[in-house]
Amino acid sequence: MTTLAFDPARSPLAVAVLGTGTLAAEVTRILHETGADLGERIGARVVVRESPGDLLVDASESATAITPVLAALRAGRSVVTGNAALIAEHGHLLTAAAEEHGADLYFEAAVAGGVPVVRPLTQSLSGDRVRQVLGVLPDRRSAVAQAAILATLAFHTRVEPGDVAFEEFGAAAAHDLTAAESLSLRLRMLTVCSRVSEGPELGGKERISVRVSPALLPADHPLTQLDSALGAVSVAADGAGQLMFSGSGDPSATASALLGDLVTAARNRVHGGRAPRASYYAELPVAPLGDTPTRYYLNLHVTDHAGALARVAAVFADNGVGIARVRQELHDTDAHLIVLTHRARESALADTVDALTESSCVRAVTTRWRVEGTDD
């Protein structure tokens, strides 16, 4: 005899889907096709309605969804969203409304689509100390918003999109990619969220750095092993060590993440329980980009005469930047120096590049990429 997981006499849970695009259509399709199974998992029958229901699934992509989402929360209706812009810009307001009116707010799908990283940061690692988050995100259009969300969750600090340093992913010359490969490095559009500890002379205070830019990673790093259609997030924590989360950012995977949150929010409605609360207690300041440590890969177009290498090395030394590796290449009649630096403050590295462009032995700095995920 089959025993139902829910009471047939219980009123059904009405779910409204916000949005008109592919993602909203996918969520609606799955709800219609698998509603019976979801009801068994939840403990109550699920029905889809256009009018406001017991739960709202926000499958839109604009921060203008704040109006219906906030209205739902203030009415005590739980919200599940995959809207990165909405959470990044208004997450603090939404979480406060959810808390005040006894509703839940879930947003696993708002970061990297189907990559399950929000719940590990908010629950699995809530007793640990996260040092760094690196991400190759499948949707670059909202990379800044996703970076702000990741940093907020990882460091228990409210981070706004305006706090995220952003650099476009430009065209990469084939010979630079080849040179980087020879150094066992590969180029990716990388999200970097890190703790930055000041030196004793500055009181040893801790700040955070959040940026999205092209960067080189070790060729054997898990983030470089992905298919181009996938995304991944690497989390380094004191206790748990290095963790990897990967998956697809396509509508089906994002819809899966939304529905996973929907089931959890619906179970809370039926059986009791609440979503984890947002935590901003740390209030760590965001460090200026110039104060953050990184390494540089540089391609220097230099004059081909004796003493050029020594003069280039002197520029690095004058700015307090160490050279880890250097190699000379010839392209037709042009001489190039490929330089990999040691880790230094971004400001010192930028000053070095400025000084190199003014040096009589350097015709141009043709390429400047940051390097992450490596030890000096």
Instruction: Residue 279: count other Cβ atoms within 10 Å of its Cβ.
Output: 15
Model confidence, pTM: 0.92
**The pair of three-digit structure tokens given for residue 345, joined into one six-digit string:** 């403050």
CA–CA gap between residue 275 and residue 338 (Å, rounded): 51
Is residue 224 helix, strand or coil?
Answer: helix
**The pair of three-digit structure tokens given for residue 144, joined into one six-digit string:** 């800044």
Contact 255, 23 (CB under 8 A): yes
Type of residue found at 87: I
- Res 2: pLDDT: 43
- Res 8: pLDDT: 62
The β-bridge relationship of strands 130-136 and 55-58 is unpaired
Helix (H) or strand (E) holding 363, with range, is: strand 362-371
Contact 143, 212 (CB under 8 A): yes
Contact 365, 356 (CB under 8 A): yes
- Res 81: pLDDT: 96
- Res 1: pLDDT: 38
Task: For residue 174, count CB atoms less than 10 angstroms from its CB and return exposed for 0-12, middle for 13-18, buried for 19 or more.
Answer: exposed
Three-state SS letters, 339-356: EEECCEEHHHHHHHHHHH
Instruction: Mark the ranges of the chain whose per-residue pLDDT is less than 70.
Output: 1-9, 199-204, 228-229, 332-333, 376
- Res 124: pLDDT: 94
CA–CA gap between residue 332 and residue 317 (Å, rounded): 30
Type of residue found at 218: P
- Which residue in 79, 77, 84 sits closest to 105, CA to CA? 79
CA–CA gap between residue 312 and residue 324 (Å, rounded): 14
CA–CA gap between residue 179 and residue 164 (Å, rounded): 29
**pLDDT tens per residue, range 171-214:** 899 999 999 999 999 999 999 999 998 765 556 689 999 999 99
Integer angstrom CA distances of residue 170 from 14, 167, 214, 228, 349: 46, 9, 8, 17, 20
- Which residue in 196, 228, 266, 278 sits closest to 35, CA to CA? 266
What structural domains does the chain harbor?
13-112+251-271 (3.40.50.720), 118-247 (3.30.360.10), 291-371 (3.30.70.260)
Is residue 237 helix, strand or coil?
Answer: strand
The residue assigned the tokens 């918003």 is 145
CA–CA gap between residue 242 and residue 258 (Å, rounded): 26
How far is residue 217 CA from its own chain's centroid?
A: 16
CA–CA gap between residue 254 and residue 246 (Å, rounded): 13
Q: Where does the chain have alpha helices with state H?
A: 22-42, 66-74, 84-101, 118-119, 143-155, 174-182, 251-271, 308-318, 346-358
Helices (H) and strands (E) in the chain, counts: 9, 16
